[in-house]
A and B are shown apart, each in its own frame.
Chain A
Amino acid sequence: MSPAATASGPARPGGTLRRLLSARNVVVAAATALALLLPLFGSNFFVEFVMTRTMILGIAAATIVFLAAYGGMISLAQYLLAGVAGFMVGNAVVAQDAWSKGLKLGWNPWVAVLFALAVTTFVAFVLGALASRTTGIYFLMITLTYAVIGYYVFGSITPLSGFGGITGIDPPGLFEDHPQRMYLALVVLSVLVYVAFRVLAATPFGLALQGIRDDPVRMASLGFNVSLHRTLAFTLAGFTAGLAGVFNVWWNGQIDPTSISIGPTLDLLIVAVIGGTLSLEGAWLGAFVFVTANNYLRNLPLVDHIGITEARFNTIVGVLVLLIMILSPDGLAGIIDRVRKGLRRLIQQPPGSGAGPAEAATGSSP
């Protein structure tokens, strides 16, 4: 928010429009426009590989951010839920005569999507109901346990998949051989998810959820059903992660338990952490940084000299997270925020006595 926006306040006529034109929204809108126009000038590899993957990971990471920022829950089960949707699509669409594992139901791909999302939402509801009575570190541990158990469930239950996974999963005709269309659909979906999460935050449900985040005991004594709110938030996040999982499996064409194991689970958390677990935009920013690093870091000329090869990518990711957690637990968004505040202080200091209460008021909104 710029100082002008803060000064105008919501009471003035035209305040709503002014508020919609905040710096945050303008930047997001510009980024969206850029993403939509990208196929016109970006290279095929950049659009169909880097940016498509960014959007998928961004949507999945946004569900982590949603739960963390509005619900105070850090969930490690989001990649598992995306994987559940992926496995369900795989089991449903692969044809009976295909050379693959799984149930091979051979359904219409769009029916398969509905089926996958229904199963994922149900699984998220059950897992959420079990975990929602705990918070903080317990919630993190329980969801991590879900993630690891999920890996073994799909790995050992061979009729569903087995460790070899399901291969040859074709996207529906709309997207088959049209990777640019899939990219554009993902941009639209990203915007929908982003707007939906932000609008939700202002609804009675979202406000109650944030109240529960801040003081569950008080909200309970005001008559709110704390665990039900948490469960529903987790279910919604699970459904959204399922959407990301459907696109992920279309994009990959296959899925196996290793792709939802503890490594990728941490990668997704890392995406959320890079962007900052408290800012929704950070999810896509983090995804972009992660995917870019994953694709281009190995091509840097000096990398081989210091003994870091492609295979050691996890070490780089780990060190990156370690540094972020040590230096700025709010991630890149936190760093940007700090730089902005520092700049503003630099600009405002000379004329008068500093920022004063206006800055304190703007600083706390997630």
Chain B
Amino acid sequence: MTAHAVDERELQLRRPFVLPRWVSRAAVWVPVAAAALWVLVLARNTSAGPAIREPGEFVVTLLDGVTFAGLLFVVASGFTLIFGLMRTVNMAHGSLFLGAAYVAHEIQTNMVGKDANIDARDVSLLAWILPLLAAGAVVALLGLVMHQLLLRWNQGQDLRQALITLAISVIAADQMLAHFGGVAQPLKWPGAVTHFFEIMGERYASSRLFMLGVALLVGALLWLWLNRTRMGMVIRAGVDDQEMVRALGINITLVFAITFIVGSFLAGVGGVLGGSFAGSVAPGVDGAWLLNSLVVVIIGGLGSVKGAVAGSLLYGMVVALSPAYLPAGYTYYSVIFTFALLAVVLAVRPNGLYGRAE
């Protein structure tokens, strides 16, 4: 009895500081309930209007959130895949994103045969898919080179690797600025997917649904790869216990290289999707998408693909809902909500929703 009590006390001491359960529950549910009440009934002076009065606006805003979450997932899944297996935080992920968008822009303008004023109607399906694959391949190769030259030999020194990739991102941003200039360059969806259709009385762009479709396809392929192939099995085992995988005689260095290729390719696909979504490619986007990837994985938990899905959905919803339901004239406060989401998740689960303690 006494021995048991001592054990209990020791556990209490060893456990890092944890908020009482009711506080963490309140920290989640009070803001959620308040936001729901606001969106449903109270949001009168906002661009979208209360959801019970304007159900169309509400559905469209939700769709915006889900489709943007698809894009977030494509980019962040590559980031989290690399971290999960190798403990490498690839700060150059945003640079790969921007690099792919620029490559796709170059190929697309060549295929269309116009330099400026490209209209979506000029772009055939091939003039979008070919740049997508080519750009993905180029950045996948760049990622592989980066891994082999700069990251392979210092495996396990996570801070050093983070700073190395950070330095690469600075160099890459500067070189891309020198090459492509400070002016935004066009990158367009194929004409076949740029239509508008009606949802509950609201016009909606089909290209956003196309983007979501691509994201779902990427997610499905990723799931099949990780859960239904031998390579995926090795990766999942490597996430849990790298040393054991190595000891079993599996060539984990090769698996690392392939994971880096796939992760970089996903950044590239995300870059082409994101560039087409914005309609143009411009400097500074790399930093914005490094932020997006970081927010998604901090919310979802570093290294967890499941967490990337959850993080993308939550962050996508906040990004879509906050400007639509803030009072008119105050929409510039929407960035605060990104921070609030981060703060709530960190307060309740310091390692993210699906993250594991180090």
Contacts and interface: CB of A to CB of B under 8 A. Distances in A.
Q: Most A CB atoms within 10 A — which of B171, B175, B358?
A: B171
B14 A221 contact: yes
A130 B336 contact: no
B170 interface: yes
A29 B91 CA distance: 39
Interface stretch (A11-19, A110-118, A193-201, A315-323): A315-323
A225 B350 contact: no
Interface of A: 74, 130-131, 133-138, 140-142, 144-145, 148-149, 152-153, 156-158, 216-217, 220-221, 223, 225-228, 261-263, 266, 269, 273, 311-312, 314-315, 317-319, 321-322, 325-326, 329
A325 B164 contact: yes
B162 to A, nearest CB: 6
A149 B163 contact: no
Contacts of A262: 287, 290
A263 B87 CA distance: 24
B82 to A, nearest CB: 13
A112 B115 CA distance: 51
Contacts of A157: 332-333, 335-336
A165 to B, nearest CB: 15
B347 A130 contact: yes
A304 B69 CA distance: 46
| Nearest 8 pairs of A and B residues by beta carbon | A318-B171, A318-B170, A314-B174, A133-B350, A321-B167, A148-B291, A322-B167, A262-B287
Given A137-B158, A140-B162, A319 B171 contact: yes
A225 B17 contact: yes
A74 B166 CA distance: 13
12 contacts: A130-B342, A133-B346, A136-B158, A137-B87, A138-B351, A141-B297, A153-B339, A226-B16, A228-B17, A269-B163, A315-B178, A325-B160
Interface in B329-358: 332-336, 338-339, 342-343, 346-347, 350-351, 358
A320 B14 CA distance: 42
Contacts of A311: 178
Q: Chain A contact residues: over half helix, strand or loop, or mixed?
A: helix
Nearest to A216: B16
Interface in B163-195: 163-164, 166-168, 170-171, 173-175, 178
Given A130-B342, A318-B170, 13 more contacts: A130-B346, A136-B158, A140-B162, A149-B338, A149-B339, A158-B332, A220-B13, A221-B14, A223-B13, A261-B287, A269-B166, A319-B167, A322-B167
A13 B335 CA distance: 61
Given A138-B302, A262-B287, A314-B174, A133 B16 contact: yes
B16 A220 contact: yes
A329 B335 contact: no
Given A145-B291, A157-B333, A157-B335, A226 B17 contact: yes
Given A220-B16, A322-B164, A314 B171 contact: yes
Given A137-B89, A221-B14, A226-B17, A156 B164 contact: no
Given A145-B342, A322-B168, A220 B174 contact: no
A226 B15 CA distance: 10
B343 A136 contact: no
A148 B290 contact: yes
Q: Chain B contact residues: over half helix, strand or loop, or mixed?
A: helix
B13 A141 contact: no
Contacts of A133: 16-17, 346, 350
A256 to B, nearest CB: 14
Given A140-B162, A226-B16, A153 B335 contact: yes
Nearest to A309: B178
A220 B14 contact: yes
B105 to A, nearest CB: 22
Q: Most A CB atoms within 10 A — which of B167, B171, B295?
A: B167
Given A130-B347, A325-B160, A315 B171 contact: yes
Contacts of B335: 149, 152-153, 156-157
B244 interface: no
Contacts of A317: 170
Interface string B1-45: 000000000100111110000000000000000000000000000
Given A153-B335, A266-B166, A315 B294 contact: no
A130 B343 contact: yes
B351 A329 contact: no
Given A137-B158, A221-B13, A314 B173 contact: yes
A141 B93 CA distance: 13
Contacts of A226: 16-17
A315 B174 CA distance: 6
B150 interface: yes
B351 A134 contact: yes
A221 B168 contact: no
Interface in B257-290: 287-288, 290
Q: Most B CB atoms within 10 A — which of A136, A142, A145, A261?
A: A145
Interface string B49-89: 00000000000000000000000000000000000000101
A318 B168 contact: yes
